[in-house]
Homo-oligomer: A and B are copies of this chain.
Amino acid sequence: MLSDIEIAQAATLAPIAAVAGKLGLSADDLHAHGHYMAKLTQATVNRLHAQPARAKLILVTAINPTPAGEGKTTTTIGLTDALNQAGYAALACLREPSLGPVFGMKGGATGGGYAQVVPMENINLHFTGDFHAITAANNLLAALIDNHIYHGNALAFDQVSWRRCMDMNDRALRRLTLENHTHTGFDITVASEVMAIFCLATDLADLTRRLGRIQIAVSTHGQPIYASDLQAEGAMTALLKEAFQPNLVQTLGGSPALLHGGPFANIAHGCNSLVATQTAMRLADYVVTEAGFGADLGAEKFLDIKCRQSGLRPDVAVIVATVRALKYHGGVEVADLNAENLSALASGVANLEKHITNLQSHFGLPVVVALNHFTADTAAEVALVQAAVEALGVRLHVCRHWAEGGAGALALAHTVAMQAQQAAAVKLLYADDLPLVDKLTTIAQAMYGASQVTLSALAQTQLSQMGEASRGLAVCVAKTQYSLSCDAKLRNVPKQHVLHVRELRLSRGAGFVVAICGDIMTMPGLPKQPASARIGVDADGRITGLS
Cα–Cα, bound, A467→B526 (Å): 34
Q: Is A50 an interface residue (CB 8 A)?
A: no
Q: Is A144 an interface residue (CB 8 A)?
A: yes
Q: Is A442 an interface residue (CB 8 A)?
A: no
Q: Is A143 an interface residue (CB 8 A)?
A: yes
Q: Is A460 an interface residue (CB 8 A)?
A: no
- The answer to whether A126 touches B132 (Cβ under 8 A) is yes
Q: Is A176 an interface residue (CB 8 A)?
A: yes
Chain B residues near A528 (CB-CB < 8 A): 151-152
- Determine the interface band of chain A, counting residues with CB < 8 A from chain B: 35 or more
Of B34, B178, B179, which one neighbours A32 at CB under 8 angstroms? B34
Nearest-Cβ distance from residue A107 to partner chain B, whole angstroms: 12
Chain B residues near A234 (CB-CB < 8 A): 532-537, 545
Q: Is A275 an interface residue (CB 8 A)?
A: no
A145-158 toward B: CB 8 Å interface, digit per residue (1/0)? 01100111000000
What are some 21 contacts across the A-B interface (CB < 8 A)? Answer: A103-B143, A126-B133, A129-B129, A132-B132, A136-B168, A142-B170, A146-B170, A147-B170, A171-B179, A172-B180, A174-B179, A176-B177, A204-B537, A232-B532, A233-B536, A234-B534, A234-B536, A235-B533, A235-B535, A235-B536, A238-B535
- The answer to whether B168 touches A172 (Cβ under 8 A) is no
Nearest-Cβ distance from residue A77 to partner chain B, whole angstroms: 23
A165-194 toward B: CB 8 Å interface, digit per residue (1/0)? 011111111111111101001000000000
Cα–Cα, bound, A150→B525 (Å): 10
A94-111 toward B: CB 8 Å interface, digit per residue (1/0)? 000001000100000000
- The answer to whether B174 touches A176 (Cβ under 8 A) is no
Cα–Cα, bound, A175→B179 (Å): 5
Cα–Cα, bound, A231→B533 (Å): 5
Within 8 A of B (CB), among A494-547: 525-526, 528, 530, 532-537, 539, 541, 543, 545-546
Cα–Cα, bound, A175→B180 (Å): 9
Other than the given A103-B140, A231-B533, 18 more pairs (CB < 8 A) read: A32-B33, A99-B136, A125-B238, A126-B132, A126-B133, A129-B129, A143-B169, A152-B528, A172-B182, A173-B178, A179-B185, A208-B536, A231-B532, A234-B534, A237-B537, A238-B535, A238-B537, A238-B546
Lowest 10 CB-CB distances: which A-B pairs, in order?
A234-B536, A132-B132, A235-B532, A146-B172, A231-B533, A143-B170, A129-B129, A235-B535, A147-B526, A151-B528
Chain B residues near A35 (CB-CB < 8 A): 31
Known: A144-B530, A175-B179, A179-B176. A242 touches B32 (CB 8 A): no
Q: Which A residues lie at the B interface, using CB under 8 A?
A: 31-35, 42, 99, 103, 121-122, 125-126, 128-129, 132-133, 135-136, 139-140, 142-144, 146-147, 150-152, 164, 166-180, 182, 185, 204-205, 208, 230-235, 237-239, 241-242, 525-526, 528, 530, 532-537, 539, 541, 543, 545-546
- The answer to whether A168 touches B139 (Cβ under 8 A) is yes
Nearest-Cβ distance from residue A479 to partner chain B, whole angstroms: 22
Cα–Cα, bound, A152→B534 (Å): 20
Chain B residues near A176 (CB-CB < 8 A): 176-179
Cα–Cα, bound, A121→B239 (Å): 10
Cα–Cα, bound, A237→B526 (Å): 19
- The answer to whether A172 touches B143 (Cβ under 8 A) is yes
- The answer to whether B235 touches A144 (Cβ under 8 A) is no
Cα–Cα, bound, A534→B133 (Å): 19
Cα–Cα, bound, A174→B237 (Å): 26
- The answer to whether A125 touches B239 (Cβ under 8 A) is yes
- The answer to whether B173 touches A179 (Cβ under 8 A) is yes
Cα–Cα, bound, A199→B242 (Å): 27
Q: Name the residue among A180, A536, A539 with the largest chain B CB count within 10 angstroms.
A: A536
Chain B residues near A164 (CB-CB < 8 A): 173
Known: A234-B545, A532-B140. A150 touches B133 (CB 8 A): no
Chain B residues near A144 (CB-CB < 8 A): 103, 526, 530, 532
Chain B residues near A121 (CB-CB < 8 A): 238
